[in-house]
Chains A and B, each alone.
Chain A
Amino acid sequence: MNLFKDTGHLLRFAALFVIAFLLFWAIRGFVVPRTFGQYGHYRGAAIGEIASRPAQYAGHDACETCHSDVLDLKKAGRHAHVNCEACHGAQAKHAADPGTFTPAKLDTATLCVRCHSISAARPKNFPQVNVADHANGVPCETCHQPHSPAIGASPAVTGGAK
């Protein structure tokens, strides 16, 4: 009656299993990122990394803090719902450091035409012009103040001085 007689070979085998498991566990600890499985079958920290990228477009609120004069003019006109950066481009750097980064001068010849050149594909109620007939080569801002484009809509129509 000796149950554990001649069990040495079994114990060695069991020890091998334990060692293999510990090795697997150790290697797994190294290769699987710590936050993997935090929210699901992916690395949880990736969400924070993606969110931490800097933005290029500052957003309309950032413009309002300094340029309230332009905004007052814009609010009354038909471009009220066009955000500043839609024409002026990405200005997050300018918002962070207005001295070093200044917005580029805009060319109305290409900018206005992007939206307002005539095309049957555009919605019917959207203001469109046949560029060649409409202005005869005269720059848009000669008649239209870009921030409040209807002619005579604002006293600030000064031949595009703004």
Chain B
Amino acid sequence: MNLSRRQILVLLPAAAIAWKSVLAGEPETSPNYTMTDHWWGMLIDIPKCIGCGNCVRACQAENDVPDGYFRTWVERYHVTDENMTTPEVISPDGGKEGFPSAEEDAGKYFFVPKLCNHCADSPCTQVCPVGATFVSPDGVVLVDQTYCLGCAYCVQACPYGCRYVHPTKKVADKCTLCYHRITKGLTTACAENCPTGARQLVDLKNPKDPIHVFLKTHSVQILKPQMATGAKVYYNDLDGSVR
């Protein structure tokens, strides 16, 4: 077969594209799970949280989170009459092993579990220069770790401090809302292991989800609403001093 220079110039790119399609194969899909049927979020019932740290330990075990890094953590607030705007906040090792005993005195104590807010209009995904982090069609903010450069723009952009650069993988890492569990019909590891039901996975597209009644009947707040992030972690009975 004799090919002219011109024919080769046309055929080579065509062959390259054909070969590329063969290599890529079909995209993976989870059976029995339709992304467009769900819109995930979480409900955190502050008065139920006892600060045991079960969620933090469960998250580490489920997601292989390195020591000293947290996809979820628990903060303890101590608010007195004098420090309403600057409350004392502690979170020893993310609250993983619980908290030191608190003495009854002036003011109030409460626990605030934190995690990625899975914002509908997330600041972190907007700054990614390569499209490695995104809001999935079912409302979960995920990181494509094979595509991430590790530039940490998203770490800076998150107003809630929920991202970190993984110390060995050198790519952005964060709460996936246990995406590998919720797509199989399980709840998240943190909600599964919460002994008091202070954390509940909610599906806002499911009309039977109790969240709809809960939102109508309770005083529910999101964190930093002034930033218009569309956060989907709902806090029941959240104190105004929480930042």
Contacts and interface: CB of A to CB of B under 8 A. Distances in A.
A33 B28 CA distance: 14
Interface in B41-91: 47-54, 58, 61-62, 76, 78
Contacts of A114: 52-54, 97-98
Interface string B166-194: 00000000001011110110110100111
Given A22-B13, A56-B61, A115-B195, A40 B51 contact: no
Interface string A1-42: 000000000000000000100110110011001111011111
A109 interface: no
A151 interface: no
Contact of A86 (B35, B110, B194): B194
A5 to B, nearest CB: 24
Contacts of B109: 119-121
B144 interface: yes
B242 interface: no
Q: Which of B20, B33, B78, B132 is most buried by chain A, counting CB atoms within 10 A of its CB?
A: B20
B53 to A, nearest CB: 7
A122 B54 CA distance: 15
Contacts of B183: 51
B184 to A, nearest CB: 7
Interface string A116-156: 01111111001000000000000000000000000000000
A77 B240 CA distance: 36
Given A43-B144, A120-B102, A86 B176 contact: no
Contacts of A22: 9-10, 13
B29 A48 contact: yes
Contacts of B193: 57, 83, 85-86
Given A60-B192, A121-B51, A54 B101 contact: no
Contact of B30 (A19, A51, A81): A51
A39 B104 contact: no
A126 B50 contact: yes
Contact of A56 (B52, B62, B103, B110): B62
Q: Which of A44, A47, A49 is most buried by chain B, counting CB atoms within 10 A of its CB?
A: A47
A89 interface: yes
The size bracket of the interface on A is 35 or more
Interface in A41-77: 41-57, 59-60
Nearest to B135: A40
Interface in B131-155: 131-137, 142, 144, 146-147
A55 B98 contact: no
A82 interface: yes
A114 to B, nearest CB: 5
Nearest to A18: B9
Contacts of B34: none
Contacts of B181: 55, 57, 59
A35 B24 CA distance: 8
Contacts of A23: 13
A90 B24 contact: no
Contact of B35 (A26, A45, A47): A47
A121 B144 contact: no
A48 B50 contact: no
Contacts of B133: 42
A39 B140 CA distance: 13
18 contacts: A22-B10, A26-B12, A30-B20, A34-B21, A41-B131, A42-B133, A43-B147, A48-B30, A50-B180, A51-B180, A55-B180, A56-B62, A81-B197, A114-B53, A115-B195, A120-B101, A121-B76, A122-B51
4 tightest A-B contacts by CB? A48-B28, A26-B13, A34-B24, A121-B109
